[in-house]
Structure 1
């Protein structure tokens, strides 16, 4: 029997990313992992940057995760709704990724988050690895 869907957690980001095949964490700080497949990042916890700030205080967000997406259409689908916890900044114009604040991760269900992380991995894995994973999961 499948587990009931629930609110996502930051641990779901880690467990899903680490659970994909051929993944390594190349981050240099334990609180800021950089998950890669085949030397390509697909999820990373970034340091506070001037492009992502609280609009009221001007303080840099210190809880931003960068997640790759397969296409610009996928990116727009995730960020165009103002209620979505996913966002982007001018710094990421033309970059196939979205941003997510850890403080808002519970606005997603676990299943939604897992799908986004798996899609991120698929967008960065080699064609052979992606095809193998899809076939193993009856999706290819």
Structure 2
């Protein structure tokens, strides 16, 4: 299997986020990592919250990862497909982000996860940093 086609892992989120330029890591009260660019979060590991629960047991999901997205239409594209591992909750209405359970990350390829993390960074980075990164990493269209 080609490296980009292999299944994604949680470790890939950390590596990809840290691989973007000008990234710092903060840690929440529970020690959960929050990846930031210019002081703005773009990926973070969320603590269990009452808005993201198992529908069968009512237990809070302990493994939710939040990714910023460029726009509401990007968000809808990721969460509207019932087969998608991405989801949202009413708590995130009007917020340009999507949620993903770490336990479902293997439903994505490394290539797909890379795009999500890069888009998250691009959606939060300054215009100067975004322009510089895009010059070095031109987006190819099929």
Q: TM-score range by the shorter chain?
A: over 0.9
- Relative to the length of structure 2, the TM-score reads 0.93
- Could you say which residue in structure 1 is the equivalent of 2:9? 9
Aligned-residue offset at 1:138: 2.5
Q: Which residue of 2 aligns with 1:114?
A: 114
* Other-structure match for 1:59: 59
> What's the Cα RMSD here?
1.5
Q: How does 1:14-25 map to 2 (within 5 A)?
A: 14-25=14-25
Give distance in 1, aligned partners of 2:4 and 2:34.
29
Name the SS of the counterpart of 2:99 in structure 1.
strand
Unaligned runs of 5+ in 1: none
Change over 3 Å in CA distance of 1:94–1:4 after alignment to 2: closer
Q: Which residue of 2 aligns with 1:84?
A: 84
1:23: Cα distance to partner? 0.2
In structure 2, C-alpha distance between the alignment counterparts of 1:4 and 1:119, rounded to whole Å? 17
**1:30 CA drift (Å):** 7.8
3-state SS of the aligned residue for 1:116?
helix
Structure 2 gaps of 5+ residues are none
Number of corresponding residues? 139
Report what 1:34 is aligned to.
Answer: 34
How far apart, in 2, do the equivalents of 1:83 and 1:104 lie? 11
Normalization by structure 1: what TM-score? 0.95
- What is the Cα deviation at residue 9 of structure 1? 0.4
**Cα pair distance change 1:106/1:31, threshold 3 Å:** farther
Alpha-carbon distance between aligned partners in 2 of 1:73 and 1:56, rounded to the nearest angstrom: 30
Q: 3-state SS of the aligned residue for 2:62?
A: coil
Q: Secondary structure at the match of 1:98?
A: strand
Runs of 4+ in 1 over 6 A off after TM superposition: none
Partner of 1:26, secondary structure, is strand
